[in-house]
Amino acid sequence: MGKTAREKRSAGPPPSGADEGTDGAAPREGSGAVAADEPLERARLQAEVAKQRVRIAKEELKRARKRMKEAKREAKRARRQAAATRKVWKKARKAHRGNSARAASARAARGRRRSEHHSPRKGAGRRRGAHITPPSQS
């Protein structure tokens, strides 16, 4: 924010010939009023600076609130993603466990069947009575 014309005049050096008593002339009547105005001007400038600081602080607060909202949105998004990923992982684990349990039981069943079919004695694996035909009913 730029300075006003009054601020520019008060900040710069006084115009030539306006020095109080430096040029040998008698001091003017209004010089006491200029000295009294200086503290008021300083207070006004300080108030303006304070207003600017308040404005800047409010803007920073707005930006911080926006960042906070964005961070909350991002956290919510991450939680949803984590939940979905956990769900998929659990489903895959359940399927894997189900398959491995079925596979283990199938392997055990195959092992039992093999032991029945592949016995060391010749012909011991055949079912008895398989070659006998049932009596025909007449």
Q: Does 11 reside within a domain?
A: no
- Convert the pLDDT of each residue in 18-32 to its tens digit: 445 455 545 455 555
Q: Does 30 reside within a domain?
A: no
Q: Does 46 reside within a domain?
A: yes
DSSP-assigned letter for residue 123: T
Q: Which residues contact 3 (CB under 8 A, 6 or more apart)?
A: 11
* Domain extent for 53: 35-116
Report how many domains make up the chain: 1
pTM for the model: 0.40
> Mind spelling out the 3-state secondary structure of 42-89?
HHHHHHHHHHHHHHHHHHHHHHHHHHHHHHHHHHHHHHHHHHHHHHHH
For the chain, percent of residues with pLDDT exceeding 90: 41
pLDDT above 90 for 65 = yes
Q: Does 102 reside within a domain?
A: yes
